[in-house]
Amino acid sequence: MDTSTEKAVRAAPAPARPVALSPSRASDFLQCPLLYRFRVIDKLPEKPSEAATRGTVVHAVLERLFDAPAAERTAPSARSMVPGEWKKLLEKRPELAELFADDPEGKRLARWLADAEALVERWFTLEDPTRLEPADRELYVETVLESGLRLRGFIDRVDVAPTGEVRLVDYKTGKAPRPEYSEGALFQMKFYALVLWRLRGLVPRRLQLVYLGSGDVLTYDPSEADLRGVERKLLALWDAIQKATDSGDWRPRPSKLCNWCDHRAVCPEFGGTPPPYPLVPGAEAAEPVLPGPEAAERALPVIPGPPSGPDAAGQNGAAGQSKESS
Ligand code: SF4
């Protein structure tokens, strides 16, 4: 480990066993078990990214726009909120200033804000906020399945029709995946649908992904059988995570997504050495340890699909790991 990595390891919060699953962390494990370990167990810090931070600002605008009366929810008014939401985020997370530390004239920041405004504006071609009154925004949901597996996450928007039918909506600042990868994208929404079903006893009528990067809307109407299938897949995934946790066997799984991984300096695939495994491996692992996520993958769609560029990491809009922690 180089000196900066050692410092980062020392500065990270205390390591701990995974206690819950969120869509983002499920995606991490499927992408690369070692990445999951670095994020969830070692809690290694990551550098903020422009794409993810822009996603956070855009999400904040789309959430807070609904504070205004319906008639005032216009595109110019939403665009005008972008600089203010960036300022608020910066006050909460001053470390984000480093994104533009080498931009004394503010040209790159101006372009970045303009890109965020364009994403916000595109939303108005896809949905009409003057005709929507969300039941919930940025809704934190958490449930414990009968097996003991705890699931949690944030749902961007929940709409409830006068008939009681529920629609879950998620905004993505990236582009829509190609059709062959849409199952992976929908998996996150099915995860939320399962949590809400378990919490409220009602299967959401519709799941909706709004892609601001490409101007697409992807929808899916889930059934109970779908959600039972998702539950089985999550249990298989959690089983694989538990076995890796017990054994300390977190294999790197290189892919094109390594280009956006902050942990290459400590990754054996790039000549690095991971920090010592901070948990005591072993005694609990009664069965042979799975050689990585393969067992879970047999059951799960690959998430999130192929990289579409650096923005792939920011499609969720959550900067780094702030939105879903485990
Ligand atoms: S660099 Fe690639 S293989 Fe290494 S931890 Fe990151 S994602 Fe995994």
Q: DSSP of 21-70, one letter per residue?
A: B-HHHHHHHHH-HHHHIIIIIS-------HHHHHHHHHHHHHHHGGGS-G
324 inside domain? no
- Residues 160 and 79 occupy one common structural domain: no
CA atoms of 203 and 197, how far apart (whole Å) = 5
pLDDT at 68: 97
- Residues 123 and 217 occupy one common structural domain: no
Counting ligand 1 atoms within 8 A of each CB, the residue from 251, 259, 262, 264 with the most, and so the one to mutate, is 264
- Residues 143 and 236 occupy one common structural domain: yes
Q: Is residue 184 very low, low, confident or very high in pLDDT (cuts 50, 70, 90)?
A: confident
Q: Which residues share a beta bridge with 60?
A: none
pLDDT at 55: 97
88 inside domain? yes
pLDDT at 182: 84
Pocket flag, ligand 1, residue 264 (CB < 6 Å): yes
**What are the tens digits of pLDDT across the range 239-297?**
999 999 999 999 999 999 999 999 999 999 999 999 999 997 654 433 333 333 344 44
* pTM confidence score: 0.83
% of the chain with per-residue pLDDT over 70: 82
Q: Is residue 11 very low, low, confident or very high in pLDDT (cuts 50, 70, 90)?
A: low
pLDDT at 54: 98
Specify the ligand 1 atom closest to the Cα of 35.
5
More confident residue, 41 or 7: 41
pLDDT at 296: 41
Task: Assign residue 23 the CATH number of its domain.
Answer: 3.90.320
How many domains does the chain divide into? Answer: 2
- Residues 203 and 83 occupy one common structural domain: no
* Alpha helices (runs of H) in 201-293, residue ranges in sequence order: 224-247
Helices 107-126 and 50-64, packing angle to 10 deg: 50
Peptide bond into 304 cis (omega under 30): yes
Structure tokens at 221: 């109407």
Domain residues for the domain of 242 are: 1-42+132-303
Interval between CA 30 and ligand 1 midpoint (Å): 12
- Residues 214 and 99 occupy one common structural domain: no
258 inside domain? yes
Counting ligand 1 atoms within 8 A of each CB, the residue from 27, 32, 250 with the most, and so the one to mutate, is 32
Q: Is residue 174 very low, low, confident or very high in pLDDT (cuts 50, 70, 90)?
A: very high
- Residues 189 and 297 occupy one common structural domain: yes
pLDDT greater than 70 at residue 305? no
318 inside domain? no
Q: Is residue 319 very low, low, confident or very high in pLDDT (cuts 50, 70, 90)?
A: very low
Residue ending a domain, among 105, 131, 157, is: 131
Q: Are 205 and 222 in contact (CB under 8 A)?
A: no
- Residues 246 and 223 occupy one common structural domain: yes
138 inside domain? yes
310 inside domain? no
- Residues 152 and 257 occupy one common structural domain: yes
Q: Is residue 8 very low, low, confident or very high in pLDDT (cuts 50, 70, 90)?
A: very low
**What are the tens digits of pLDDT across the range 53-106?**
999 999 999 999 999 999 999 999 999 999 999 999 999 999 999 999 998 899
Interval between CA 259 and ligand 1 midpoint (Å): 9
% of the chain with per-residue pLDDT over 90: 76
- Residues 102 and 225 occupy one common structural domain: no
- Residues 139 and 113 occupy one common structural domain: no
pLDDT greater than 80 at residue 221? yes
- Residues 226 and 288 occupy one common structural domain: yes
What does the mean pLDDT of the chain come to?
Answer: 86
Pocket flag, ligand 1, residue 99 (CB < 6 Å): no
Q: Are 199 and 141 in contact (CB under 8 A)?
A: yes
313 inside domain? no
295 inside domain? yes
Pocket flag, ligand 1, residue 253 (CB < 6 Å): yes
Pocket flag, ligand 1, residue 267 (CB < 6 Å): yes
Q: Is residue 15 very low, low, confident or very high in pLDDT (cuts 50, 70, 90)?
A: confident
- Residues 86 and 138 occupy one common structural domain: no
Residue ending a domain, among 102, 131, 160, is: 131
Residue ending a domain, among 101, 131, 161, is: 131
